[in-house]
Chains A and B, each alone.
Chain A
Amino acid sequence: MVTGELMSGAEIVLKALADHGVEHVFGYPGGAVLPIYDEIFQQDKVKHVLVRHEQGATHAAEGYARSTGKCGVVLVTSGPGATNAVTGLTDALLDSIPMVCLTGQVPTHLIGNDAFQECDTVGITRPCTKHNWLVKDVNDLARILHEAFYVATHGRPGPVVVDIPKDVQFAKGRYVGPKNIEHKTYRPQVKPNQDAIRAAVELIAKAKRPLLYTGGGVINSGVIASKLLREFVKMTNIPITSTLMGLGAYPASGKNWMGMLGMHGTYEANMAMHDCDVMINVGARFDDRITGRLDAFSPGSKKIHIDIDPSSINKTVQVDIPVVGDVAHALEDMIRVWKAKSHELEKKAMQAWWKEIDGWRAKDCLKYKANKDVIMPQYAIQRLYELSRDREVYITTEVGQHQMWAAQFFKFEDPHHWMTSGGLGTMGYGLPAAVGVQMAHPKALVVDIAGDASVQMTMQEMSTAVQYRLPIKIFILNNQYMGMVRQWQQLLHGNRLSESYSESLPDFVKLAEAFGCVGLRAEKPAELDDKIREMIKTPHPVLFDCRVASLANCFPMIPSGKAHNEMLLGEDVSDAEVGSAIDAKGKELV
């Protein structure tokens, strides 16, 4: 028997959102959610942000969630509203972003009838959510909403969908508060096994060439995890590299920082991965962009893997010491045990290891040929970084070459300041994500480092930015190509550039004006700084058309099917080498 205040389903939704401290909901109305929109109209605790496409709502909620550590909330209608949200839900699933997506549904008696704007939302979203619910009784609604927030934010975070038929939104039911609500059975393991912790510490203490390989799990574990990671690095002096998702957990200015690893990672990070003797994976998942050729992946190392999700352990890479639990808890325990045993790494071995690393660093693998007449894309990002250093800056990206250059050349000092689509690789992520970030941080500088192709996928969200006076900066590295597609065609397909050239690009400056925001263009290196400064000080949304060298490619690169020590470096790549870098086997890989 449910006791509590009697209210309509729509009222219950708004009450639950308020009780979970939700301040912003990203959404788009439609027939099957009108009762909820009617409630939104009559209250002022939860602010609704009207996007222009439901995919935009999901990415905005992701940006919001990643930059705050809170749960992102999305509200969309049935049918096309729900199907348009699928890309963002999948993106959030692969990158472990907490998100609650509420979808309207046709009335219960019409479900299964092929009604107008009906789709099997729970069926379609089952494989792209952590969990989902169809609410058939208004008296279950409050409990399910509380469970939804619990599931989205506990354990490995992820997106959930609550599908609410229109008659349930109208029906009267009892509201119960979120107090003591947890899922009836879902209990992810947060505290790690202490034997595993002790074994991990013992292994690290004996290491001669240890390496920390950190990932998005450190960010998801909260700011405290980044603090503990920094303490652990300081205490042990172990070199550290990170995946795309984990940038900012350890500061790029820190002396142990080696840069990102993986397919477009630095020479020093990848060589160290290959040659280390103890690898400490903290909240990363041995993704194929990281490991390269698996049978040649770090062949001489013992591996420790800290992950909150047991299914991540031994999925692709066999590890010696698995530690299941939350990163912050695991690091705290490891630091405590390390101190209690007064461990210290062998000085001589560490000196030799650092000397070797410094040798790799001296390669200066990110160097590129500067140009006086044409803006190099790498240079554009370096200038953007230098000219925005004195501010609190949040960076989002789309997907492609610009994304990798941003990861290589922008220096992140803190967690939660870097939002990018890592697992799913969703072009069009960055612009709506910037909308979500700016909503959460109205005073900060929010820049979407974009490509000319990606940005057109969710361009309509400029209109959202204008409506809510969100002064996001869209910094387009415009080379008139789908650059990463072209780079792969050069590597794999005999330089036959099939459909990777963008014909008929819009005039981005005029487009900005049409949206009611500010358009800027830079064509020469000499004018770049002034234009970037102008962009930063403009208190409105800006579309910045940065015309960059059209044929620049992104290096270093581990070609598909190759090992970490078989990297292509920018300087020594001739056209012939580019053409033959990937063998027949590697060509089949993505």
Chain B
Amino acid sequence: MNAHQQPTGSAYFLDTSKKTVETHTLAVVADNEPGVLARIIGLFAGRGYNIDSLTVSETIHDKHVSRFTIVTTGTPSVLTQIRHQLERMVPVHSVADLTVQGNSIARELAMVKVAGGGEKRMEALRLADAFRARVIDASTESFIFEITGKPDKVDQFISLMVPIGLVEVSRTGVAGISRGPEGMKV
């Protein structure tokens, strides 16, 4: 792909592909003002960064403060640059790289709709039990399961549901938080 774009040593062709690409989870605390989501997404799109997952919700209602969890991939220098670019945005209060801090927790919620009858229904329930997924809706031909956990656990559950009769999935994306008594600067 793009074989003609050989690295030349120019800033235009900083060759990041040869360096190790890492996946990091960033937590961003920002004012919940109109356009703040567009601003953050626009930064990633405009500067060519990746977004693997993004979740956002207002977390302190009376102060109108929102918290984003962004999962992104890049070389270490690109990841540092992403953090600095986020930090200099006017409505952003603070940014934490949860992966660099280590010892953080990431969870995701998914709703998984599975259809089928007979033995497949029983198999779906057995697997759901093993994964601690709850049935939140049922009809004679279908279930909807709610599963919470690390993204790879959710992935695994979904892949097991495929042969049973997976219809559709709705996932929230990853929410992250650091362990211990310390909190992020608000």
Contacts and interface: CB of A to CB of B under 8 A. Distances in A.
Interface of A: 122-123, 126-127, 130-132, 134, 151, 155-156, 183-186, 286, 288, 291-296, 309-311, 313-316, 318, 560-561, 563, 585-586, 588-590
Contacts of A585: 6, 8
A313 B85 CA distance: 11
A589 B4 CA distance: 12
Given A131-B90, A186-B90, A126 B39 contact: yes
27 contacts: A123-B35, A126-B35, A127-B46, A134-B34, A151-B90, A184-B31, A185-B31, A185-B90, A185-B93, A286-B11, A288-B11, A288-B12, A293-B10, A294-B10, A309-B88, A310-B84, A311-B85, A313-B84, A314-B77, A314-B80, A561-B8, A561-B10, A563-B9, A585-B6, A586-B10, A588-B5, A589-B8
Contacts of A563: 9
B87 A311 contact: yes
B14 A316 contact: yes
Interface in B30-89: 31, 34-35, 38-39, 42, 46, 77, 80-81, 84-85, 87-89
Nearest to A318: B77
A294 B93 contact: no
Contact of A310 (B11, B42, B88): B88
- A contacts with B: majority SS: loop
Contacts of B81: 311, 314-315
Nearest to B84: A311
Nearest to A155: B88
Contacts of A313: 84
B5 A122 contact: no
Nearest to B65: A185
Contacts of B39: 126
B151 interface: no
Contacts of A586: 8, 10
Most chain A CB neighbours (cut-off 10 Å) among B14, B46, B84: B84
Contacts of A589: 8, 10, 12-13
Contacts of A156: 88
A111 B43 CA distance: 25
B91 interface: yes
A342 to B, nearest CB: 36
A325 to B, nearest CB: 14
Given A151-B90, A589-B10, 11 more contacts: A126-B39, A127-B46, A183-B90, A294-B10, A294-B11, A311-B81, A316-B11, A585-B6, A586-B8, A588-B4, A588-B13
Contacts of B38: 123, 126
Contacts of B77: 314, 318
B176 to A, nearest CB: 22
A126 B42 contact: yes
Contacts of B8: 293, 560-561, 585-586, 588-589
Given A122-B35, A315-B81, A130 B90 contact: yes
Interface in B76-112: 77, 80-81, 84-85, 87-93
Contacts of B87: 310-311
Contacts of B6: 585
B145 to A, nearest CB: 39
A367 to B, nearest CB: 29
A157 to B, nearest CB: 13
Q: Which 7 A-B pairs have the closest CB atoms?
A: A311-B84, A293-B9, A131-B90, A295-B9, A585-B8, A288-B11, A561-B8
A140 B91 CA distance: 16
A313 B84 CA distance: 9
Nearest to A560: B10
B99 to A, nearest CB: 18
Given A186-B90, A588-B4, A296 B34 contact: no
Nearest to A188: B88
Contacts of B84: 310-311, 313
Contacts of A291: 11
B9 A127 contact: no
Nearest to A312: B84
Contacts of B31: 184-185
B75 to A, nearest CB: 12
A562 to B, nearest CB: 9
A318 B34 CA distance: 36
Contacts of B46: 127
B41 to A, nearest CB: 10
Nearest to A311: B84
Contacts of A288: 10-12
Interface string B1-30: 000111011111110000000000000000
Contact of A127 (B5, B14, B42): B42
A590 B39 CA distance: 28
Contacts of A155: 88
B77 to A, nearest CB: 6
A451 B89 CA distance: 37
Contacts of A315: 81
Nearest to A151: B90
A589 B14 CA distance: 12
Contacts of A560: 8, 10
A403 B4 CA distance: 32
Contacts of A286: 11
B3 to A, nearest CB: 12
A126 B39 CA distance: 7
A285 B120 CA distance: 62
Contacts of B34: 122, 134
Contacts of B89: 131
Nearest to B94: A185
Contacts of A314: 77, 80-81
A588 B11 CA distance: 12
A182 B34 CA distance: 20
B167 to A, nearest CB: 35
Contacts of B13: 588-589
B42 A294 contact: no
B165 to A, nearest CB: 42
Contact of B9 (A126, A130, A296, A590): A296
Contacts of A310: 84, 87-88
A464 B60 CA distance: 51
